[in-house]
Structure formats: C-alpha cells, structure tokens
Amino acid sequence: MSYTPAAADVAKLRNQTGAGMMDCKKALVEAEGDFEKAVDILRKKGQKVAANRADRESTEGAVIARVNEDNTLGAIISLNCETDFVGKNEAFIELAYELAEMAIFAASKEELLATDFHGITVAEKLIEQTGVIGEKIEIGAFERITGPYLGAYIHAGNKIAAITSLSAKVEGADEVAKSVSMQAAAMNPIALDETSVSQETIDKELEIERHKLVEEGKPANIIDNILKGKMQRFYKDNTLVHQDFIKDSSMSVADYVKSVNGDLKVTGFVRVSL
C-alpha cells in the first residue's frame, strides 16, 4: 500500500524548508514518511538546481542594513537573485533581513556563509533556497562597520542601503545618523571627506580638468589656481560631509550635524546598492 503523507506533515516540512507543497508531498512519499530523509531529499534537489544555475547572473535582490542593539556594530548585505519578482517576495526579503542580522557578528562574507543557520550553514541554506525558488540565490555585497554610534537607512524597494558612524552617542545622534545615512544612500558620495579620497581618484580628476583648461586655451600660469577651485567643487559634490544636505540645501551635511549637536561628527559610512 502506497504511503500518503498527512497534511500536517506536509505543512511542517514546508515551514522548515520553504519548499512548495507539492515538492514537500513528493519528498515525504519518496522518504516513506521519514521526515529527516524528506528534508535531505529537498536539499539534494536544491544542490542540483544550484549546480545547473551556477553560471546565471544574479543581479536582482534586496539590500538590507542592520545595526546591533547598542548601535555600535552594523552590516549591509545584498541577497541576490535572478529576477525582480523574486527580489520583492516577502519570504525572500525576510531571509535577507535574517542574514543581515547575522552579518553584524561575522568578520567577513566567508565567515557569514559558514555560520550556523538553524542546523545548517548559511551557504547550505542558500543552496536549499535556490532549489526551492528555482533561481540562483547568493550573498553579493557584504559591508561591515563599527563606531561609537551607528544609524541605518534602507531606501524604499530595498535596492539601496547605508549606515553612518557618528563620533559619540549623544542627544540627537539617532536623528543625525538616520538622516546622514539617507544622504549617503541618495547622493552616493565617493568618500567621507577630502582626506578620504584616494590619490588615484584625485590624480585622475586633476588630469581631466587640466586637459579641459588647456583645450579652452587658459594661460598656463593660472591653470593651477583654477584647478584648486575645481577640486574644491569636486569635494563638495562627492564627499559626504561637504555635500549639500538633501533636507536643507542651504547647509552642508557637516553644518547640519553641528546644528543638531556641536559635539557630533560623522566618522564613517558604508553604502550598498543593486
């Protein structure tokens, strides 16, 4: 007599693995009611699907930022998939949030992938989900930040997120950290301030601007002075603390921070986007 799994067992297997009802039912039938064996069957299916989709591009997904309870550790990850449809799925986003929480305490992406996830590793969970969803699922970006006080911002749609570090946990820090993180997410600065811009970037910008000035026929004896002004504009447009504050363009981000609390400074940020 063939085995027919109880609806409660099918539901239990689905809750544990996230697989579809029919896949769970087939796995239980194949395992003849052995729950752990059914779980293994579904995981092996995931491995097979993952192997078949290993060369697929996973450029969609969700970007999630999280900080710990005392706002001193933070992480941003992107959980990548193949289609925007999956990237907007509620269960997929919930998984991204859970992984971002775990990333707070992982020193690297490799450490996160090796972390225990309800009895299996995160890497194994991603393979399992690849089988369940039928798309390549992987962790893309991994950014971690520490500081005296952190605040996070996730842009609507979960495609961009940022975390800002402030110099101290003082009155107004929560508002400032969130607002500056929103600034970083929206304006995509290349560095915190002019001292944080790489020499390679500076040299490239100077070369481009110098070439323009020569092409315009500017006298050689004034080019260096013009370049100083152009670089100041470059820093204003591209470094976080010198950018115009998006909520009030009459002041810079640094001026905004100082207006809330004179003891506060922005000390760092991380940003991830899809």
112 occurs within a structural domain: yes
Regarding whether 172 and 83 lie in a shared domain, the answer is yes
Q: For the segment 136-147, what is each residue's pLDDT rounded down to a tens digit?
A: 899 999 999 999
Regarding whether 65 and 174 lie in a shared domain, the answer is yes
98 occurs within a structural domain: yes
**Exposed e or buried b per residue across 23-55, where buried means at least 16 C-beta atoms within 10 angstroms of its C-beta:** bbbbbbbebeeeeeebbebbbebbeebbeebee
Locus of tokens 């607002």:
179
Regarding whether 68 and 180 lie in a shared domain, the answer is yes
- The number of folded domains in the chain is 3
Last residue of a domain, one of 165, 185, 205: 185
pLDDT at 47 > cutoff 90: no
Regarding whether 151 and 78 lie in a shared domain, the answer is yes
Regarding whether 132 and 201 lie in a shared domain, the answer is no
Regarding whether 44 and 149 lie in a shared domain, the answer is no
Regarding whether 178 and 66 lie in a shared domain, the answer is yes
pTM: 0.82
Strands 73-81 and 60-67 turn out to be antiparallel
More confident residue, 71 or 50: 71
Average pLDDT over every residue of 117-135? 88
Q: Is 268 exposed, middle or buried (0-12, 13-18, 19+ CB in 10 A)?
A: middle
Regarding whether 144 and 235 lie in a shared domain, the answer is no
Q: For the segment 144-174, what is each residue's pLDDT rounded down to a tens digit?
A: 999 999 999 999 999 999 999 999 999 999 9
121 occurs within a structural domain: yes
Domain of 130, CATH number, reads: 3.30.479.20
Average pLDDT over every residue of 192-217? 94
Regarding whether 247 and 165 lie in a shared domain, the answer is no
Residue 64 lies in domain:
60-185
Residues, the chain: 274
What single DSSP character describes residue 128?
Answer: H
Regarding whether 71 and 164 lie in a shared domain, the answer is yes
